[in-house]
Amino acid sequence: MEKSCISVFLLLVAVSYALAKDFTSKNDGKRDTKEVKETKPRLPQTLSRGWGDNLVWTQTYEEALFRAKNGNKPIMIIHHLEDCPHSQALKKVFAEHKEIQKMAEKFVLLNLVYETTDKNLSPDGQYVPRVLFIDPSLTVRADITGRYSNRLYAYEPSDISLLYSNMQKALKLLKTEL
Amino acid sequence: MEKSCISVFLLLVAVSYALAKDFTSKNDGKRDTKEVKETKPRLPQTLSRGWGDNLVWTQTYEEALFRAKNGNKPIMIIHHLEDCPHSQALKKVFAEHKEIQKMAEKFVLLNLVYETTDKNLSPDGQYVPRVLFIDPSLTVRADITGRYSNRLYAYEPSDISLLYSNMQKALKLLKTEL
């Protein structure tokens, strides 16, 4: 997990570089040649980015907040980077985990490679991968954490069961009957 | 243009309703049955939403700002709604206009159905369709307008040539040599 300790600046540099190459490529860790042919057929840029192609993903944080409140569903936000091997590894197990994919339908889903300006989404820093839950009352569930004390919202692929149980926890809404 | 005069509240209600039906459907004005089969194969949710499937679209406003500054490219932001016939009509001519599609490559592109919290993106209200340009210096080009004095940033399909020339105008950066 130490290697994923990237400063915001480095994050942005990395994203910038990754995106400059080819925004749409589903980079699985290995680099393509730098010369991206703009003429080659481009894969559609999907909102899922491989985190669950059969799930409904929101585009923006504003949209997610609106849908959470209106639909009384919790939000699950995954911050990640296409060029980060930790993000890619988590994405793989996340996308292949049938129960997680099923349970994810109960959430308003958002995956982001660019940080929002909302500081509540980085309670202990802007690292990736980072998974946060937000209650339909629009309260960030800072209490739902992974197992790393120095990056509370990070998950390794081996933590996928913990992530699953945290999703269950997030589905127990804070103010269901109020 | 009068009919596109929709308050923010109505916008959100409309979007909510449209999206509740099927977020991914490329709705061209006619309504499907309300019972969306969740089991039917879902079209991939693309960032282009039909405004130019071969163009690179950014996901969020934060991303667009970052790329504009870094790449020294102006931003073109299109606010629209899937359920709005004016938006759909403009989208059709926009997507089919070869010169516009070509010139659009020179912009950082963003199309949004949910408003951001940045008031600079609604100089005269939150109507759709609404096209705004932002200079790489991150200045909103409030001077680049359409032909309707009551909604300066709205375009009808018949205004597509004006939109094209406004794109040309936006490409002349404010502070190129500073």
Give the distance from CA B2 to its chain's centroid.
Answer: 19
Give the model's confidence band at B176: pLDDT under 50 very low, under 70 low, under 90 confident, else very high.
low
Mean pLDDT of chain B: 83
Between these two residues, B44 and A144, which has the higher pLDDT value? A144
Q: Which residues in chain B are contacts of A15 at CB distance < 8 A?
A: 66
Instruction: Report the pLDDT averaged over residues A99-104.
Output: 98
Q: How far is A133 from chain B (nearest CA, A)?
A: 19
Give the model's confidence band at B87: pLDDT under 50 very low, under 70 low, under 90 confident, else very high.
very high
pTM of the model: 0.76
Tell me which residue of B124, B91, B109, B18 sits closest to B55, measured CA to CA: B109
d(CA A79, CA A122): 10
Query: Residues of B numbered 46-65 whose beta carbons fall under 8 angstroms of chain A's beta carbons: which are they?
Result: 46-48, 53-54, 56-57, 59-63
pLDDT of residue A147: 98
- For residue A123, is the peptide bond before it cis, meaning its omega torsion is within 30 degrees of 0? no
What DSSP designation does B43 have? Answer: P
A71 exposure class (CB count in 10 Å sphere: 0-12, 13-18, 19+): middle
pLDDT at A19 over 50: no
Q: Which residues in chain B are contacts of A23 at CB distance < 8 A?
A: 56
pLDDT at A55 over 80: yes
Q: State how far the alpha carbon of A81 is from the alpha carbons of A6, A28, A29, in Å.
A: 11, 11, 11
B60/A56 touch (CB, cutoff 8 Å), yes or no: no
d(CA B164, CA B29): 25
pLDDT of residue B37: 44
Q: How far is B66 from chain A (nearest CA, A)?
A: 9
Give the model's confidence band at B100: pLDDT under 50 very low, under 70 low, under 90 confident, else very high.
very high
Q: What is the ipTM of this complex?
A: 0.73
What DSSP designation does B30 have? Answer: S
- Amino acid identity of B49? R
Give the distance from CA A110 to its chain's centroid.
Answer: 6
pLDDT at A174 over 70: yes
Q: Angle at Cα A100 formed by Cα A96 and Cα A101, nearest 5°?
A: 65
pLDDT of residue B42: 64
Under 8 Å between Cβ of B87 and A39 = no
Q: How far is B15 from chain A (nearest CA, A)?
A: 10
Which of B10, B22, B38, B45 has the most A C-beta neighbours within 10 Å, making it the best mutation to test the interface with A? B45
Under 8 Å between Cβ of B171 and B104 = no
Query: In the sheet that B108-112 helps form, which strands lie side by side, from edge to edge?
Result: B108-112, B75-79, B130-134
Give the percent of chain B with pLDDT over 90: 71
Tell me which residue of B19, B14, B9 sits closest to B125, measured CA to CA: B9
pLDDT at B16 over 80: no
d(CA B114, CA B147): 24
Between these two residues, B39 and B114, which has the higher pLDDT value? B114
- Chain B interface includes A116 (CB < 8 A): yes
Out of A42, A46, A63, closest to residue B44 by CB? A46
Instruction: Report the pLDDT averaged over residues A113-136.
Output: 97
A174 Cβ neighbours under 8 A, 6+ residues apart: A135, A137, A139, A141
Instruction: Report the pLDDT averaged over residues A52-63.
Output: 96
Give the model's confidence band at A52: pLDDT under 50 very low, under 70 low, under 90 confident, else very high.
very high
Mean pLDDT of chain A: 83
pLDDT of residue A13: 43
- Chain A interface includes B82 (CB < 8 A): no
Give the model's confidence band at A158: pLDDT under 50 very low, under 70 low, under 90 confident, else very high.
very high
Instruction: Report the pLDDT averaged over residues A94-99.
Output: 98
pLDDT of residue A101: 98
pLDDT of residue A141: 97
Q: Which residues in chain A are contacts of B48 at CB distance < 8 A?
A: 44-45
Instruction: Report the pLDDT averaged over residues B51-67.
Output: 97
Under 8 Å between Cβ of B37 and B105 = no
Least confident span in B15-24, B58-67, B96-105: B15-24
- Amino acid identity of A34? K
pLDDT at A7 over 90: no
Q: State how far the alpha carbon of B97 is from the alpha carbons of A118, B23, B160, B163, in Å.
A: 38, 26, 8, 11
Number of H helices, E strands in chain B: 5, 3
- Chain B interface includes A113 (CB < 8 A): yes
Instruction: Report the pLDDT averaged over residues B127-155.
Output: 97
